Structure 1
Amino acid sequence: MRNILLNVDSYKASHPYQYPPNTTHIYSYIESRGGKWDSALFFGLQMFLKEYLTRPITQAMIDEAESFWQGHGEPFYREGWQHILDAHDGYLPVKVCAVPEGSIIPNHNVLLSIINTDPKCFWLTSALETALLRAVWYPTTVATNSWQCKQVILKYLHQTSEDVGQIGFKLHDFGARGVSSLESAAIGGVAHLVNFLGTDTVSGVLAARKYYHEDMAGFSIPAAEHSTMTAWERDREVDAYRNMIRQFGGAGKLVAVVSDSYDLYHAVDHIWGEELRQEVIDSGATIVVRPDSGDPTTVPVDCVIRLGEKFGYSVNAKGYKVLAPCVRVIQGDGININSIGAILQKLADKGWAADNIAFGMGGGLLQQLNRDTLKFAMKCSAAHIGGRWIDVYKDPVTDHGKHSKRGRLGLVRRDGAYQTVPEDEAGNDNLLEPVFCDGKLLRDWSFADIRARAEG
């Protein structure tokens, strides 16, 4: 599965034979052509470059690919791949330029360009499309989704809270089990961590460590699941909760306890709010009550209000109520960007600050999106044929939204606005930086750099 020669769509195998005679260079670019949001937080390319393109191909890879294509019904351009092995020691002769990771770029602008550096390898640019586009659209879309959620939460923090600095732990990644693979969890998980500090997706933290020099990008807390609570049986539900306090409580500690195994409101009103009330207060910890069923826009609001009745609250300088420090709520069921906004609005309408709640997001964060969420595409826009550059483009009469850009491209920022312009016109103002060339990584962004750029 690590053979870059086979990291393609099947039809790519026949493409080296389809270009016009005397083709020497193919230039392609990637952009978001629109979609759910008007901008994209570019992220994730460095993982792909390090994992796949800084490693040379081998004779064994070529032989494996030839055997596969012979059985699969497609031609294999062995001489082209053999040339890469013999002339370039297996390192792919391409140059990749991209905006710095963490940049937030309005849609319909070039984010990345790629061109072959060896005239004999004009076909290689297109051969990498499948892998390269996937390496960009998924982490960029997750990072953008997470960033957009952050803006919603920030809106309500600015409106209702005195502590906007708590934003880093307001959206927790619950998505590891809901994605299609471990690699997806790692890529999507680290994309979320560009914007937040809370996660239960271990592979995302490890990806930040492996690819972006960040030793510990995300954090978690002890938390209950239904099995650890229901194993105590219903008659001993109070003992299950008491055990969580005693095992994980302490000054400054946070402990999350799922509380809807039987009757959420009974648990809030009578178990947490009466039987265990003093133990919660005396523990010094913050008990984070987690509802996990019912209407996700109503139930957590009810929990905040009920906890306020039992544990009390203060009123901040903005006139909104904040629960006693010993209790909070986290909602992890049915969370997406729309339900986050609805919950925070309901809380605000009832006079409660955003301080009182955090969110856990699973499928809505890492899985319920696709390439069309931001309409990502990689297209050839220029070709060097017979000694001259020609513009290459498409403009389907049946869907002008799929028109592609022409020529070699640059990205500039003028008068505060990003613009895609011809490469020659961009000159020294071109924001597309060389990040990879002929097997060598030219930029090695740290996670701190990327977070700062996204924050700015």
Structure 2
Amino acid sequence: MNPILNTDSYKLSHYLQYPPELKFISSYIESRGGRWNRVIFYGLQAFLKAYLSQKITADDIKEAKEFAAPHGLPFNEKGWEYILKEHGGALPLRIEAVAEGSVVPTENVLVQMQNTDANVPWLVGWVETALLRAIWYPVAVATNSYFCKELISRFLSETGTPSEIDFKLHDFGARGVSSFESAGIGGSAHLLNFKGSDTISGALFARQFYGADMAAFSIPASEHSTMTAWGKERENLAYANMSERFGDSVFACVIDSYNIENAILEWSKLMPSIKERGGRVVLRPDSGNPVAMAILCIERLIELVGARKNEKGYLVLPDFVRVIYGDGIELERIGDILGELKMRGISSDNIAFGMGGALLQHLSRDTLRFAMKASAVSKDGINWQNIAKEPISDPSKHSKPGRLALVRDGKHWKTIRLDELASEQNQLVPVFENGKILREYNFEEIRARIANG
């Protein structure tokens, strides 16, 4: 990908639109609110490594110039030639950001960027498209997953075993996203909160960009083709084969190819063997109303194989069987299912969830109302003039004026102007300057930061 063309078309004309005396621009990124009141900051490091630290070349400039004219736009050839000559193709930008894994209330600055060379103030706006896209998506997925974890943890604390949280939400989203890269970015963002995933690219992404040895774990599991290939009349043999192959370990089996209740009955006949071998089967009923079917499955299993009451007074299936529901699952539906189980005296220990499109794809920049705005300009890089967007038609879109700082007092965060910082510690730390990455975070460090809030 030509890094010069990793922008919006209209950006190509912006170098002609700034005041001639302007030499420096400072811009920032924030979530202006939206679905949740907090965000998990994540993903910038991967973008810096994969894209922004890439140097532009003469061939990149030539290609961009040849593209711009027939596309209907001017091209700042002199500006890009200057970057190539004076900076060796490295982008003269400085970026500071809050530490990855920080849990920050919305409406706070997360990233701030300015040019380091007075001759290229237009470069800050040029990068906006790629930088904003690189941040809003992993932040949205990580935050979505985080609030799912909060919800499930609450029910586990009330009815079950909180220590089981790591594997209560499994990523089924690889096939439902727009690209392999999206699966990697989103899949790794989910793994900040949970450890179960079938999105291989998420684990690979966490390894490549954040040094994770193995961030995700999965188990043998069936799909409908491996069950229906036996034929309806031999469904019991399909299950027997699964039990024989994997019954000494944890494994999952889909049970809605035909009749869920019949499938549960057939599996109950195989469970003594699984129990004897120390294994666990996780049954997946994925058709019908999720609340009704999850409840039906668990209650039928209780009838067939029994259950014990835990110390909190809720029923728990024997260790050799559990349920996972993975169709139509989203945050609200998880709450519906767990709430119904609790009302019926059934522990949340009995069920895990799989989430696909709702985890990795049903999100947009508007989910958390992400925006990048210019907030200060300067003629000399020393004296700064505050600027801001203030539409009278929508106060929620007012942007923040000035060069910014982010301060923290315990779990309380606040955005202030940099000239108001005084003795407080700025939580925005330099991460990139003139093509070089200044600060790296590893995956376990990010996980720990989230866990500590």
TM-score normalized by structure 1? 0.97
SS class of match (1:198): coil
Residue number among 429, 439, 442 corresponding to 1:443 in the alignment? 439
The farther-off stretch of 305-314 and 88-97 is: 305-314
- Tell me the distance in 2 between the aligned counterparts of 1:146 and 1:358: 14
Residue number among 400, 403, 426 corresponding to 2:398 in the alignment? 403
Tell me if the contact between 2:41 and 2:103 (Cα under 8 Å) persists in the aligned partners: yes
Residue number among 412, 415, 419 corresponding to 1:420 in the alignment? 415
Identity %: 53
Corresponding residue for residue 202 of structure 2 = 204
TM superposition shift of 1:415: 6.6
The amino acid that maps onto 1:272 is W
1:359-388 deviation digits (Å, cap 9, x = unpaired): 000000000010010000000000113774
Residue number among 250, 254, 269 corresponding to 1:254 in the alignment? 250
Corresponding residue for residue 177 of structure 2 = 179
Tell me if the contact between 1:245 and 1:283 (Cα under 8 Å) persists in the aligned partners: no
Tell me if the contact between 2:24 and 2:380 (Cα under 8 Å) persists in the aligned partners: no
SS class of match (2:23): strand
Structure 1: give runs of 5+ residues left out of the alignment: none
- Tell me the distance in 1 between the aligned counterparts of 2:2 and 2:190: 28
1:159-189 deviation digits (Å, cap 9, x = unpaired): 011x211110000000000001111100000
Tell me if the contact between 1:21 and 1:385 (Cα under 8 Å) persists in the aligned partners: no
Corresponding residue for residue 222 of structure 1 = 220
Corresponding residue for residue 263 of structure 1 = 259
1:53-74 deviation digits (Å, cap 9, x = unpaired): 2221111111111111112111
The amino acid that maps onto 2:240 is R
Tell me if the contact between 1:22 and 1:386 (Cα under 8 Å) persists in the aligned partners: no
Corresponding residue for residue 318 of structure 2 = 324
Corresponding residue for residue 115 of structure 2 = 116
The farther-off stretch of 387-396 and 98-107 is: 387-396
- Tell me the distance in 2 between the aligned counterparts of 1:383 and 1:314: 67
TM superposition shift of 1:273: 2.0
Superposed CA RMSD in Å reads 1.1
Tell me if the contact between 2:255 and 2:285 (Cα under 8 Å) persists in the aligned partners: yes
| 1:454 correspondence with 2:453 | no
The amino acid that maps onto 1:294 is G
| 1:148 correspondence with 2:143 | no
Corresponding residue for residue 268 of structure 2 = 273
- Tell me the distance in 2 between the aligned counterparts of 1:416 and 1:133: 25
- Tell me the distance in 2 between the aligned counterparts of 1:73 and 1:291: 54
SS class of match (2:366): helix
- Tell me the distance in 2 between the aligned counterparts of 1:434 and 1:378: 18
The amino acid that maps onto 1:238 is N
SS class of match (1:452): helix
The amino acid that maps onto 2:131 is L
Tell me if the contact between 2:283 and 2:324 (Cα under 8 Å) persists in the aligned partners: yes
- Tell me the distance in 2 between the aligned counterparts of 1:60 and 1:159: 61
Corresponding residue for residue 231 of structure 1 = 229
The amino acid that maps onto 1:243 is N
Tell me if the contact between 2:376 and 2:403 (Cα under 8 Å) persists in the aligned partners: yes
TM-score normalized by structure 2? 0.98
Tell me if the contact between 1:186 and 1:203 (Cα under 8 Å) persists in the aligned partners: yes
- Tell me the distance in 1 between the aligned counterparts of 2:176 and 2:43: 20
- Tell me the distance in 2 between the aligned counterparts of 1:89 and 1:439: 10
- In structure 2, relative to structure 1, the CA distance for the partners of 1:271 and 1:416 (3 Å cut) is closer
- Tell me the distance in 2 between the aligned counterparts of 1:337 and 1:154: 13
1:88-130 deviation digits (Å, cap 9, x = unpaired): 1111000000000000100111000000000011000000000
The amino acid that maps onto 1:124 is L
TM superposition shift of 1:345: 0.7
TM superposition shift of 1:416: 4.6
Corresponding residue for residue 134 of structure 1 = 133
Tell me if the contact between 2:247 and 2:273 (Cα under 8 Å) persists in the aligned partners: no
TM superposition shift of 1:15: 0.3
Corresponding residue for residue 381 of structure 1 = 375
Tell me if the contact between 2:15 and 2:122 (Cα under 8 Å) persists in the aligned partners: yes
Task: Give aligned pairs, total.
Answer: 450
- Tell me the distance in 2 between the aligned counterparts of 1:376 and 1:147: 18
| 1:432 correspondence with 2:428 | yes
The farther-off stretch of 123-132 and 387-396 is: 387-396
- Tell me the distance in 1 between the aligned counterparts of 2:197 and 2:435: 33
Residue number among 327, 342, 350 corresponding to 1:348 in the alignment? 342
Corresponding residue for residue 241 of structure 1 = 239
- Within-5 A mapping of 1:31-70: 31-70=30-69
TM superposition shift of 1:438: 0.6
- Tell me the distance in 1 between the aligned counterparts of 2:54 and 2:389: 33
